[in-house]
A and B are shown apart, each in its own frame.
Chain A
C-alpha cells in the first residue's frame, strides 16, 4: 500500500448560510490528493464530532462566518475529545478577528485562515501538521 491518504472533514458549524469558501477549500484539498468528507451547512458541534469519529478523519476543517467562533470552537474541541479524537488537527477559516486567532490556537486549533489565504498554504500546513504522525 502506498502512503496513507489524509482524510479531512470539512464542516460549517452554526447558522451562517454561505459555504462557497468551504467548497473552495474542499476542492483545493481534493486537488492536493486528500479525501474530503463534506458535510454541508448548519452543523451542530455534536454532528461534527460524531462525523469526525465515524469517518476517522485526521483533520477537521471548520468554516465560520457568523462571528460565533469563540462559542462554537471550544464546544467542538470538547466533544471531539469526548469522542476520543484528541489527536485530530483542527483548522479554522472564515471571518476571524486577528485578536481571536491566538486565543483559538491556545485552545488547540492548529491553523486559522482569513479571506484571501492561498489554498496552497492551507494544504502545506495540513501536511506539515500531520508529518510526525505519518
Chain B
C-alpha cells in the first residue's frame, strides 16, 4: 500500500500527489513513511519563492510566471507546481485560501498543479509542512516549484531558507528610504520586483530600492559636482562571483516586464550553479530542516515524559513567583530533584 503510493508519486499520478500532500500536511505516519521513500528522488527542482506585503500582486505574478514556463513557444515547457500559503485564523484555526482566484489562466493545463495551504499557526510566512509538500512535488518530477508565502511583513523570511531563488514583490507607495534600510524582508531578495509598475510612484519606489542596494553593494559612481567630474570608487571590484539583486518592474495583470523577470530568474539559477551557491544553499536548507525536526522530536519526547499535573504545578509556581522560568525548566528537566 505504502510502497504503491510512493510509486504512484514517482510516476506523477495527480490523484496520488493530492492525497499524499494531505497526508504530509497532516503529518500522518503514512505521509512520513512515504516521504522517507521519496527523499532520494528529491533535490532536482528549481524552488522559487515569491514573497511580499499583502496586496502587492504575488498571486497574479505567480500566475504570469507559470504561464511563461508553460507557453507553447518555450523550447521545452517545464512542469510547474505552485504551493500557495495563506494565513490561518489565530482564533478558530479556519482559513480562506484565495490565491487560486488569480490563477484561473492556469486551469486545464496538465503540466501545472496548484495546491493551497493554510499557515496553521506558523509565523515565518510558510506553514510547518511547506518544505515537506515541496519535496512531494520535487519527487513527482516537477521542474519548477513556485512557493507563494502569506502576505509578509518584515520578518517572514523563512522562504529564503527554503527557496533557491527568492523574489520580493513590492509595489509603488509602500515605504520610504527608512523602511528600505531596516533589516528583514528586503535583505532576503535575490530579485526585487516592483509590481503594479503602471501606478504613480514607481520611480520613487525604484530609487529607494536602488539606494538600499547601493549601500549593500557599492559600485563605482561618476557624477558632476560643482562643475567637476567626481568619481567615487566602489568598495568591491566588479566581481562576477557576487550577485547583486536586480530590480524588475512588472505589471502582472497584463504581463508587462514578465519576460525580463524570467530572464533574471534564469540568470540567478546560472549564477547559483557557477558560484557553487546552489550546493551551499541546499546544505543550509537541509541543516535547518534537520534542526527543526530534532527540536520538534525532542520537545514531543520531553512533553510525553512529563505528566500534565507536574507541568501545571510548575506553571502554578511561575504564577506565584516561587520559581523563575529558568528554575522551572531545570526542575522539569531533572525530574526527581
Contacts and interface: CB of A to CB of B under 8 A. Distances in A.
Contacts of A130: none
Interface stretch (A51-59, A60-68, A69-77): A51-59
Contact of A83 (B15, B108, B115, B118): B15
A40 B18 CA distance: 21
A35 B95 contact: yes
Interface string A12-50: 000000000000001101111111111110011011001
Interface stretch (B72-80, B97-105, B312-320): B97-105
Contacts of A34: 94
A103 interface: no
B21 A56 contact: yes
Interface of A is mostly: mixed
A35 B19 CA distance: 16
A30 B94 contact: yes
Given A29-B94, A35-B94, A35-B118, A47 B104 contact: yes
B113 interface: yes
A5 interface: yes
Nearest to A31: B92
A5 B100 contact: no
B15 A39 contact: no
A100 to B, nearest CB: 28
A5 to B, nearest CB: 7
Nearest to A42: B104
A25 B231 CA distance: 63
**Interface size range on A against B:** 20 to 34
Contacts of A40: 98, 100-101, 104
B108 A47 contact: yes
A40 B59 CA distance: 14
Given A46-B107, A83-B15, A39 B101 contact: yes
A26 B19 CA distance: 23
Contact of B15 (A1, A53, A55): A53
Given A1-B27, A84-B15, A55 B115 contact: yes
B94 A33 contact: yes
B98 A38 contact: yes
A129 to B, nearest CB: 18
Contacts of A29: 94
Contacts of B18: 53-56
A5 B113 CA distance: 21
Nearest to B22: A56
Contacts of A7: 22
Given A54-B115, A56-B22, A36 B14 contact: no
A32 B28 CA distance: 23
A35 B97 contact: yes
A32 B96 contact: no
B42 interface: no
A38 B99 CA distance: 8
21 contacts: A30-B89, A30-B95, A33-B89, A34-B94, A35-B97, A36-B95, A38-B97, A38-B101, A39-B101, A39-B104, A40-B100, A47-B107, A47-B108, A50-B108, A53-B15, A53-B18, A55-B115, A55-B116, A56-B18, A56-B19, A56-B21
What are the 3 tightest A-B residue pairs by CB atom distance, in nearest-first order?
Answer: A30-B94, A40-B101, A56-B18
Interface of B: 14-15, 18-19, 21-22, 26-28, 88-89, 92-98, 100-101, 104, 107-108, 113-116, 118, 120
Given A31-B92, A40-B98, 6 more contacts: A29-B94, A35-B118, A39-B100, A39-B104, A54-B114, A56-B22
